[in-house]
Amino acid sequence: MTALLQAYRDDGPLAGIVAARPVPAPALLLTALAAAAAAVGLLADRGTVGAWSLTGIAVFVVLGLLGGAGRQHPQVQWLVPPLLRGGEYGIVAVLTLRADPSGLWLAYALLAAVAFHQYDIVYRLRHQRKAPPALIARLGGGWEGRTIIVTVAAVAGVLATTLAVLAVWCGALFVSESMRSWITLALDETRRSHVGTEIEEEEV
């Protein structure tokens, strides 16, 4: 897997373990099947968090992790991260809606923090030529860790509390580290001048 794709995937600790052994299947196919399984499982339960939902989410996590070790096809690999994003965001939103609708604002807060982090990855790679430290993704749980935690919390009946803790933790972690990175760039005159030139060229 290229370093660029790995950064965009926003993998956590589990993905790092699974990716150590190559999987003889296309990464995009595995990821697409993962997203489809989550969608089918959530739709099949018709408003509840039951066996279909949990099975679909389990398949999503397993196939999504295997996709990180699958064969890469440069022409289509850009589709992998959006599929993982859609799966994670959809699972968090649907589980909250069904298990504890009063916590939807907490789900929004968590997804806002995660989206900020993933948006930050794009712009750091674009203008700083480097992704956030891998440790940040691991501390944030990665897409797979957050999905598992939210699912377990929904089943255990502690979803609102878990969402609140995750939102605060991820928000503090991602925003503080991002600020540190961009402030460091602003204080580095050479790098700041280089970035400014790139932005001007893009605008033209």
Q: Return the pLDDT at 73.
A: 81
Residue ranges per structural domain of the chain: 3-203
Report the sign of the C-alpha dihedral through residues 86, 92, 96, 98, in that order: positive
pLDDT at 31 exceeding the cut of 70: yes
- In the structure, what pLDDT confidence band is assigned to residue 17 with cuts at 50, 70 and 90? confident
- Mean local confidence (pLDDT), 143-148: 96
pTM: 0.88
Judge residue 9's burial from the number of C-beta atoms within 10 Å of its C-beta, 0-12 exposed, 13-18 middle, 19 or more buried: buried
What residues does 71 pair with on adjacent strands? 26
The number of C-alpha atoms within 13 Å of 90 and in the hemisphere containing its C-beta is 20
Say if CB 56 and CB 37 are below 8 A apart: yes
For residue range 114-136, what is the model confidence (pLDDT) as tens digits? 999 999 999 998 888 888 888 99
Determine the Cα–Cα distance for residues 25 and 29; give it in Å rounded to an integer: 8
